Structure 1
Amino acid sequence: MDKLLRLWGLPALAVAIGIWVGGCSTPQGTQTPGGNKPEVVSTSTLITDWTQQVARDAVNLTSILKPGDDPHIYEPVPADTIALEKADLILYNGYNLEPNLIRLIAAAGIQARKVAVGEIIPPLELDEGTRGKVPDPHVWGDVKNVIKMVDLIRDELIRLSPKERETFTQNAAQLTQELQQLDQWIGQQIQTIPVQQRQLVTTHDAFQYYARAYGLTIAGTLIGISTEEQPSAQTVQKLANSIQRLGVPAIFAETTINPRLITTVAEEANVKLASQPLYSDSVGVPGSEADTYIKMMVANTIAIARALGGQPAPYPRSPSVSQ
C-alpha cells in the first residue's frame, strides 16, 4: 500500500479503489448511469413510429408488433409479457384492434400506466352482422386523428418524464407540422381522381376513416374489421357482382393479408387488381417505401390515386419522408 501511495498519491488511489469496488458491486443486468430511462412499450408499429418521433432517445421504447404483423390475429409470446411487466408506460390502440394483446395488458401482473391511444378519437362504427355495430379501430386513416393522438402521446411522455417536457413538446410540434402538410396533400391527390371513380374496394374494413376524410366511397370489402374472418364463396361472388355493377376501375390487396381471395374477386369481376397493395394495419419493413406512418400514407395515396384514374403529384420532401 505504501508503494502505491508513493506512485499514485492518495487522491488517485482513492478514485481507483472506488472504481474497482463500484464495478465489482454492480449487479448483473442493472442499467449503468444514463441508461435508466423510462421503459415504454407500444403495441402497433404505427404507435411505435409516432412515439419514437416524439420521444427520440429520451425513453427506452419497445415495439411488440413488428412491421408486417397483423394486430387483429397477433398471438403474444413470452417476451411480450416480460416487456409489459417491465414497462412504466404502455401505449396501445384500443377499440379491440389488438384483442390478444389487450387481454394480456389487462392482466393483473401488468402494473404500468396503460393508455388506449386510439380511443381518444370518437369512433366510426361498422356493422359486423351478428355482433351488431362495433367501433372501427382504424382511426389513423384520417391524419387529423393522428395529430390528436400525437398530442396524447406527448402528454403521456411528459407525465412519465417531466424533465424532458421541452424535448417532447418540440418534437411533437415538428411532427404535427408534417402531419398537417400530409393531410392537405392527401386531399389534393384524391381530388385528381374522376368523381365517378372515387370508389375504394379493399380486403378488409380498414379504410373507412381515410375514405370519409378525403372524399372516397367504400364500395365494398371482402371481410369485416377482423382479418380472422373467412369469406364464403357466396360473399366473394356478391362482391364481384357489386364491383361490376358499380364500374369500379381497380381493387386493392393489403400487405398484411394473403392476397389470394381478393385476387379471386378481381378475376370474377374482370377488374384490375392494383399492382401496389395497400398498407393497412402496419408500416412497411425498414428501408421500404412505407417504413414510417407518413411514408405509408403517401404510398397508399399514390397507389389509390393512380389505380383509380387520378394523377398524383410527388409528395414534398420532409424530414420523415425520403423519395
Structure 2
Amino acid sequence: MRRGQTNFYKLKISTILLMPILIFIQSVTVNSIKKFISQLLPKNRCTDDAVCTMNQIKISFPTSPYLKVILFILISGFFGCRNQTTNTSVIEATNVVDQNLPKVVATTSVLCDLTKQIAENTINLTCLIPSNQFPQIYQPTAEDGDALEQANLILYNGYNLEPQLIKQINTTKNSASKIAVGQIAVPKPQQFTVNGRRVNNPYIWHNPKNAIRMLDVINSNLNKLEPSNRTIYNENTKRIKGELTQLDNWIKLKIATIPRNKRKLVTTNNAMDYYTKAYGIPSVTLGSEAQATDQRVKNLVQYIQKSNVPTIFADMSDTSTVMVSIATEAEVNLSQRQLYTQGLGEAISDGDTYQNMMVANTRTIVEGLGGTYLIFKPKAQN
C-alpha cells in the first residue's frame, strides 16, 4: 500500500470516529455560525436594521451533514488560531524581565509610582506594600525579604510609616543604599498626638510640594545607581515636577470654589493634615479606631453640628462603621467617594498614580463640600 493511500485511510477512519462529536457540536453552534456569516454580508440585504433576522437574510446552509461539519471545522480553526495567538502575546509581554537591569525596591505605592515615572523601564522595580493597605500594620513576607536582600537600591518613606519593613531594612545584610525618602525630603515634618505624645506625621506626599522634593531624592539616587541613564532621569524628573506644580495650583483654585463657611474637612485620621495645611482647610479627625472612644465620637458629632459641615469623609482603607454612625447622628452626608490616604488606589481605580490620586482626593473634597470640580489637564511643557 502506498504512503499516500495509508494517510488517506487514516484520515478517513479519524473522520468517522470524530463525526458524531462534530455533528453534535455543529448542531449547538449553528446559530453562532449563522450570525458570524450574516455579519460578513452587505447590510443592504436587510430591509430594516432593527428587525433584521436570519430569515430575512435568507442564508442557505448546506443540507449535507458532512458539509456542515467541514464548515464548522474551518470556522473553528480560524477563531482558534486567533485566540491562541492573542493569549500567547499577552503572556510574553507581561513576563519580560531584564535580569541585567539594577534591582530597586520601593516600600510604598507612592514611592513605587514616583520611581517608575522617573526610571521608566531602566530598572527592575519591586513594590512591597500593596495599594490601599495600612503601611503601619503591614507584615513583610518572605518574598519581601528576598527582594530586600537582592536589591541594588532600597527606597522607603521613613518617619515610622512602615515600621516592620523599616526594621527588616535596617537588619538586612545587603550593603545597598537604603534611602528614607520622606525623611530626607521633609526634614521638619508636621506632628500629631498619639496616646499623649507627639509623633512625626509620615504622610508627607499629600502636599505636592513635598512630592516634588521626594522626586529630587529619588532622582539623585537613581543617578548614582545608573549614571548612564542620567539624561532620562533628569528629563523625566523635570517634566513630572512641572506637572506637580500645575497640580498644586489647580488644587488651590478648586478649593477656593468651596464656600468659606463649608470649608472644613472631617476625616478618620491625620493622614490628610499636609493637604489641609497646604490649602488652608480647617480639619478635625476622629483618630484611629482604637482612639474612637464614646466621648471622642460625641465631641466630633457636636463639632459637625455647630460647624455647618455638609459632608464628612472616610478613608479608603477604613473598614469600620464609626463614620457611618457619626454621619447618621450628626445628620450630615458621608461621602460616597472615599479618600486615598494610605497610598495609591488599585490599578483600575481613579487613584492609580500619584497625580491621579491627588486629583481624585481633591474631587472628593470639593464636590462633597459644595465646590466646583473641573478635570485637571496638565499643559505640555517646553
TM-score category (smaller protein): 0.7 to 0.9
Does the 8 Å contact 2:98/2:124 carry over to 1? no
What TM-score does the superposition give when structure 2 sets the normalisation length? 0.71
Name the SS for the 1:36 alignment partner. coil
Of 289, 312, 322, the residue aligned with 2:373 is 312
- Of 76, 99, 103, which residue of structure 2 is paired with 1:39? 103
**Match for residue 224 of structure 2 among 159, 173, 184:** 159
Aligned to 1:294: 355
**Cα distance in 2, alignment partners of residues 243 and 202 from structure 1:** 11
Counting only pairs closer than 5 Å after superposition, residues 200-279 of structure 1 correspond to structure 2 as 200-218=265-283, 220-223=284-287, 227=288, 229-279=290-340
Residues 147, 70 of structure 1: alpha-carbon distance in 2 compared, 3 angstrom cutoff: same
Identity %: 40
Partner secondary structure for residue 270 of structure 2: coil
Q: Residue type of the partner of 1:92? A: Y
User: Partner of 2:171: helix, strand, or coil?
Assistant: coil
After superposition, residues 1-323 of structure 1 pair within 5 angstroms as: 35-119=99-183, 120-121=185-186, 122-130=188-196, 132-218=197-283, 220-223=284-287, 227=288, 229-316=290-377
C-alpha distance in 2 between matches for 1:33 and 1:210:
37
Residue 234 of structure 2 aligns to a residue whose secondary structure is: helix
2-side partners of 1:316 and 1:41: how far apart?
A: 31
The equivalent residue for 1:27 is: none
Structure 1 residues 318 and 305: alpha-carbon distance in aligned structure 2, compared to 1, 3 A threshold: same
Distance 2:150 2:173 in 1: 10
Structure 1 stretch 229-238 or stretch 257-266: which is displaced more? Answer: 229-238
Deviation string for 1:144-165 (max 9, x for gaps)? 1111110110000001111111
Residue 177 (structure 1) shift: 1.1
What's the secondary structure of 1:300's corresponding residue?
Answer: helix
**SS of residue paired to 2:242:** helix
Residue 260 of structure 1: CA displacement?
1.1
Report the CA distance between 1:35 and its aligned residue.
3.0
CA distance in 1, matches of 2:330, 2:167: 40
| 8 Å CA contact retained: 2:289, 2:320 | no
Distance in 2 (alpha carbons) for counterparts of 1:310 and 1:82: 48
Give CA deviations for 1:203-259 in whole Å, capped at 9, x if unaligned: 1111111011112111x1111xxx573522222222112211222111001111114
> Secondary structure of 1:83's partner?
helix
Q: Secondary structure at the match of 1:229?
A: helix
**Change in CA separation of 1:142 and 1:314 when aligned onto 2, cut-off 3 Å:** same
Does structure 2 conserve the Cα–Cα contact (< 8 Å) formed by 1:253 and 1:259?
no
Name the amino acid aligned to 2:354.
Y
> Amino acid of the residue matched to residue 160 of structure 1?
L
What amino acid maps onto 1:141 in structure 2? H
- CA distance 1:63–1:108, shift in 2 (3 Å): closer
Structure whose alpha-carbon radius of gyration is higher: 2
Unaligned ranges ≥5, structure 1: 1-31
Aligned length: 283
1:34, distance to aligned residue in structure 2 (A): 5.6
Ranges in structure 2 where 5+ consecutive residues have no aligned partner: 1-95
- RMSD of aligned residue pairs (Cα, Å): 1.8
Please report how far the alpha carbon of residue 118 of structure 1 lies from its aligned counterpart in structure 2 after TM superposition: 0.7
Q: Decide whether the 8 Å contact of 1:158 with 1:164 is kept in 2.
A: yes
Q: Report what 1:3 is aligned to.
A: none
Q: Deviations over 1:73-123 (max 9, x none)?
A: 111111111111111111111111111111111114243211111112020
TM-score (norm 1): 0.84
Distance change in 2, residues 1:228/1:156 (3 Å): farther
**Do the aligned residues in 2 keep the contact of 1:73 with 1:228 (CA within 8 Å)?**
no
